[in-house]
Amino acid sequence: MLSSSARLLRLLSLLAARPSWTCAELAGRMAVTDRTVRRDIAKLRDLGYTVDSDAGPWGGYRLRAGTRVPPLILDDEEALAVAVGLRGAALGGALGGDQAALSALLKLRQVLPPRIAERLGEWDDALVRLPWPEEPQLRPGMLLELAAACRRGERARLSYRDGQGRHTVRDVDPYRLVHTGRRWYFVARDVARGWRTFRADRVERLRPTGHPVEITDPPDPAEFVSRNTANGPYPLSATIRLPLPPADALRVVPATVGTHRADGPDATIVEIGGPDADGLARYLLGLGTPLRVLAPDSVREALVRRARELAHDNEEHARSVGAARNSSGPPPE
């Protein structure tokens, strides 16, 4: 039979595993009586855990989220998943530097069962990381500050450094954080300029003003960031139609390159920014998939011109190869 402390940890693990349990279900999983379950629930409450309950034969027990951090009871696969996630955070700096993630990873590895530690070591040995160019990293804690500002629902004073290194201070109404896979973006309504996206690694300070705000008619944050990062810096934008469903179109043109909208179930309209018509034409030819340029005419004409040049070059290459073969004579018998 489990000791009282071990039974309480087992009970906590079960309560954290799903939203609700009946008393009979808990008793069956723990191989104890209903009375023991009720007594252990009372002990958890005495220890400070908030366990809600519903009366009646179909009632149940629920561990209320956010009242206290319970001990984590992880199975083998969960422990490995947490360790791999911490390693990814440490390598990528998504949490504003690697020290916190590395510290947590070291603590976790000290208590991992040998079989899980061995699997994690095998993953480490197989991992090869292609380094990114040197880029500013998030200041430690900034991501949490931005997330808290989005939840708080009040205006904030943002100190920001733009891509040209200019420092500005502006009042914003925080809304959402968006992660593109490489960078974090802060979506907020600039009181003076309207909706804006800010690179989180360029935020120097965010101070709450105590002025409550209500966000009305906000943009879709993911689409808004996609549109601004894909088309914002470029002087020219092209609209194309891909004969692919949206999910397949995203694999051809990532969301960080173009903005997508469905055109029926089997086609997608994509807007892509570029430096000029020739540059966009080169990119579109490189996609290697059928497409139609809807606008502008300059990109359509550049695409046709480059396609003809490519076809002409291929014909010239084929003729030169054929001539070389003919000049070499018949193969020896």
pLDDT digits (tens, 9 = 90+) for 8-17: 878 887 887 7
Strands 167-179 vs 268-274: parallel, antiparallel or unpaired: unpaired
Please state, in angstroms and rounded to a whole number, the distance separating the CA atoms of residues 61 and 46: 16
Rg (CA), the chain: 29
Q: How many helices (H) and strands (E) does the chain have?
A: 11, 11
Q: Cβ(129)–Cβ(122) under 8 Å? A: no
pLDDT digits (tens, 9 = 90+) for 115-156: 777 777 776 667 665 555 555 667 657 877 888 888 888 999
Q: Is 62 or 198 the better-scoring residue by pLDDT?
A: 198
Give pLDDT, residue 203.
93
H or E segment to which residue 27 belongs: helix 23-30
Q: Is 91 or 18 the better-scoring residue by pLDDT?
A: 18
pLDDT at 111 over 90: no
pLDDT digits (tens, 9 = 90+) for 274-315: 888 998 899 999 898 999 999 999 999 999 998 888 887 777
For residue 204, which of 145, 247, 147, 120 has the smallest C-alpha distance?
A: 145
Ranges assigned E (strand) in the chain: 51-53, 61-63, 154-161, 167-179, 184-190, 194-199, 203-212, 236-242, 258-262, 268-274, 292-295
Of 172-186, 203-217, 259-273, 289-303, give the lowest mean pLDDT range: 172-186
Name the DSSP class of 7. Answer: H
Q: Count Cβ atoms within 10 A of the Cβ of residue 31 and give its class: 0-12 exposed, 13-18 middle, 19 or more buried.
A: exposed
